[in-house]
Amino acid sequence: MAINQPTITSNGVVRPTHVEVELTRLTENYRAIERAVTPATVMPILKANAYGHGLVEVARHFASLGAPYLGVAFLEEGILLREYGVTTPILVLGGILGNQVPLFLEYDLTLTASSVEKLSQTNDAARAMGKRAKIHLKIDTGMERIGVHYYSATELLETALTCEYCQIEGIFSHFANSDAADLASARLQLERFCEVLHFYEGRGLPYPIRHIANSGGILQLPESHLDMVRAGILLYGVYPSMEVMRTISVRPALSWKSQVVYFKVVQPGHPVSYGSTWQSDHMVRVVTIPVGYGDGYFRSLSNRSEVIIRGKRYPVVGQVCMDQMMVNIEWETAYNGDEVLLIGEAGNASGDVVSITCSDLAQWAGTIPYEILTNINTRVPRLYLNDNG
């Protein structure tokens, strides 16, 4: 069983390095997406610890907003939410093993059936338990991950009609390139998915819940919204790529903070940190921050990234260590206990707002914002700010 991340619900932060999640921002983002896609509904996606924001608290928040469905990647995530009292329908999006089916039924979780074999296994297990399994059928329209190919989907859909212990609630696919500037691939996938859906029209059957739009599809392909959309990184206030059209205004809900814990003067020619990869040719002041790659602050950010102290950006110098890193403030001032922003925004003495986004970190690290958010380690406590701050 997965263990939930350390959670702080008051100002009693037990560690200088922590994440703050503004629930108000999550609410605003959810409502903005909801308005944009209506009459389709919104399924918040909570995989990978709710994109680093904290699985249980974020799930409870979206459930309180009336989300009709929640999406997770793995069975264990769904079980954890049920054990913490979340009763909203939960779709497990990932592939399953046959011996997991009884747990889906026990915890009232909706499973993804990605083949005729898995659908039959599910029907048999449900029959043996005297229950009906809730199912969403997965169609592969071009991702080549899980799901039956669109050109051979008819057998799966026909088999589903004969599985009396399976309740087919939905049918879905997943875009591979909906956040790109060139949408030809995404439009082809949508066309293929719609061709599969003709199965129901041809037999005079009502559609199950149809969904294919992820964050890129929500923003760029309104024709893909269908009955429900799966809002992932967009829901957390981060756009899925630099190329995507920003047709919905969202704001980041997460700030990553730490504090200065040590201050020293470093002489010219004295290297800083492992590998001696950085040194100054003049005397500088260097502060130590208690965060490192053990928390998910990538080692590849060494000598590349910046942090905000007292409303000003300063460079990270030397190799990022497992639990600590150093910042060059030149000959300026910082004190032990001063707040350090790794991700977030702060005002300065001039009244300007200075910010560092997860997209900034992704660019410095040579990766994507998804990886920055989902790699914030579970040892980093989460502090949840309610609508009143």
Core vs surface per residue 28-67: b (16+ CB within 10 A) or e: bbbebbbebbeebbbbbbbbbbbbbbbbbbbbbbbbeeeb
Domains assigned to the chain: 22-236 (3.20.20.10), 254-356 (2.40.37.10)
Hey, which residues does 259 pair with through a beta bridge? 339
Q: State the Cα angle at 37 between 55 and 187, rounded to 5°.
A: 100
CA atoms within 13 A on the CB side of 26: 29
- The candidate with the shortest Cα–Cα distance to 315, out of 367, 268, 360, 255, is 360
Residue pair 347/305 in contact (Cβ under 8 Å)? The answer is no
Tokens standing for 54? Answer: 């904290």
Q: Give 261's contacts (C-beta < 8 A, 6+ positions apart).
A: 16, 288, 289, 290, 336
End-to-end CA distance of the chain: 32
- pLDDT at res. 11: 52
Q: Minimal CA–CA distance to 241: which of 259, 215, 262, 218?
A: 215
| Cα–Cα distance measured from residue 311 to residue 10, given in angstroms and rounded to the nearest whole number | 25
CA 270 to chain centre: 41
Instruction: Give this prediction's pTM.
Output: 0.93
CB 252 within 8 A of CB 237: yes
Kindly list the distances between the CA atom of residue 268 and the CA atoms of 264, 280, 283, 306, in Å, as whole numbers in the listed order. 13, 5, 5, 21
pLDDT for position 167: 97
Mean pLDDT by 10 residues, the chain (389 residues): 47 79 98 98 98 97 98 97 98 89 96 94 95 97 95 97 97 98 98 98 96 98 98 98 97 97 96 97 98 98 98 97 98 96 90 93 97 96 79
| pLDDT score recorded for residue 3 | 40
Tokens of residue 328, six digits: 């060059």
What is residue 386's predicted lDDT score, i.e. its pLDDT?
Answer: 84
Which pLDDT score is estimated for 12? 56
Omega before 39 cis (within 30°)? yes
Question: What pLDDT does 120 receive?
Answer: 94
Residue-level pLDDT at 99: 87
- Residues noted as catalytic: 47, 274
